[in-house]
Amino acid sequence: MSPRKQPILELDPATVRRARALARKAGKPVVDVARTHTTVSVERATLRLAGLAGADHENVPWVNHLVDAVRDSAGLEHGVALPVWDALRRGEAPDLLTLAQKASSGAVTFHVPDGVRAKAAGKAARTAVAHGIRRIDRQRTTRDRLIARHGNPDHTPWIYLIVATGDIYEDIPQAQEAAREGADIIAVIRSTGQSLLDFVPEGATREGFAGTYATQENFRLMRAALDASSKEVGRYVRLTNYASGLCMPEIATLAGLERLDMMLNDSMYGILFRDINPIRTFVDQRFSRQIHARAGIIINTGEDNYLTTADAIEAAHTVTVSQLLNEYFAKEAGLADWQLGLGHAFEIDPTVKDSLRLELAHALLARQLFPDAPLKWMPPTKHMTGDIFRGYLLDGFFNLVGAMTGQGILLVGMMTEAVVTPWLSDRDLALQNVRYVMRAAGGLTEDFHPPRDGFIQTRARQVLTEAVDLLDAIVHDTGHGEPPLLAAIADGTFGAMKRPASKGKGLDGVFRRADGYVNPAIDLLDSGETR
């Protein structure tokens, strides 16, 4: 990707620096919370890195059985590593799978060891988990080799297309055909409601609701199919899935193990739109982003969702605030600029006067604030009416703004949005729209320079100023007795959703770390070591 190098909006550098400083100040107390807590999903992800996979006859994963057994008998405040590998060293079972099977029937009692036993258990756990970390490293090396062999797309933005049949074996041919027709990124959208499952389904799945379940086997099958497509079309075709929800750390881990290239991973999406507990989300998010950083995965954030529940003009500054917070949380977890697919969207009501000029201002503001990030630009959805001709025109406007403002990742808009799940013919027409606009106007990034103090520049400065004012208000609101950002989320600052830190799904799976907490996955990710 080649983001714009020369600024075309005359933003005040001091205001930009203040915006980032305030985002750091708002975000750091939340990171401190994440560093002092763990969750059931973080602990399950650790066991997955150590090689524990599979499920019982009722499709309950063995990692769930083992973590639940440790929680019931020893608690999770010290993590699962010490109790589990102490049990293995005591001869309770010859391996993790057998231990999980025995634990599921109550045949194992776990303890938190101390002294020499704790040291030995910790060393054994680190050795086991390091195998998973090294597999992720090998997958990243494989991606680099395949990109060197097949090449990246010779254009920007990269074209991102969604496949969503519910059946992985139907998704595969649709994804391969989309690659032939010009898609650079295939997103296998996740089955509705999976984000609220506190387990990861097992195996290849053939039934889903408005999407396909995210499972390790589905990841493996689609990655293999797109590797074949990459060879066929002569460019590396990237694969995307979703790491949000109650199993964010586990899905991120499985994505790293199976070489996915992008993952939906937003700092607040699960909180605001799925009512997942804020602390659970921020703890899980930090671990998952560390995995993404290690795996070389590009994250896609979800600021576009705010504009489905709030007005895209009035709430434009909340998108900028969220982008700045997502940037801070991502970099703190180790992600580089090239991995930050920060989100924004084309969601202004088209009946509003100057709507296209406003969209240009918002898109340029994002592009200039994050010049080295592959911004993910989302198409119109909220104001699609079922009039497919009007919708096709709106998608053309969206593509044009993407071309003019140098976006990095462009999600293909569908004229049948709000009518039906798109057919292959719908996707073909949508890709034709993108191809036409990019061929005809892709070079406009070189020519488009809005005039000084004109409508677009003035609107961009206004949104940035409002974003700074909001961040300043968040940081200085200290009357709640909790991190100010958590208080702002509770007050409905983002997406008009009120989500207090003391409520929400998954709260019972959050634990404050005790002194002596051990998690070899976090140690390896923090240090960058391989063993």
Please state, in angstroms and as integers, the Cα–Cα distance from residue 20 to each residue in 16, 312, 370, following that order. Answer: 7, 22, 11
Q: Is 115 left (phi over 0), alpha (psi -120 to 50) or beta?
A: left
Q: How far apart are CA 188 and CA 208, in angstroms?
A: 12
Identify the three-state secondary structure at position 368.
helix
Residue ranges in 297-377 assigned as alpha helix (H): 306-309, 316-332, 355-369
- Which structure tokens are listed for 384? 């699609």
Q: How far apart are CA 381 and CA 394, in angstroms?
A: 10
- Assess contact for 408 and 374: CB atoms under 8 A: yes
Q: 37 forms bridges with which residues in the sheet? A: 512
- Is the C-alpha dihedral spanning 397, 398, 404, 405 positive or negative? positive
For the beta carbon of residue 502, count every other beta carbon within 10 angstroms: 11
Tokens 């002294």 belong to residue: 115
Which residues participate in catalysis according to the annotation? 269, 304, 376
- Assess contact for 289 and 265: CB atoms under 8 A: yes
Which of 199, 189, 200, 339 is closest to 262 using CA atoms?
339
Q: How far apart are CA 444 and CA 348, in angstroms?
A: 22
> Does 157 sit behind a cis peptide bond, omega within 30 degrees of 0 on the bond before it?
yes
Identify the three-state secondary structure at position 162.
strand
Which of 285, 312, 338 is closest to 30 using CA atoms?
285
Please state, in angstroms and as integers, the Cα–Cα distance from residue 372 to each residue in 15, 338, 363, 457, following that order. Answer: 19, 6, 14, 21
Q: How far apart are CA 299 and CA 293, in angstroms?
A: 9
Identify the three-state secondary structure at position 10.
coil
- Which structure tokens are listed for 359? 């969209």
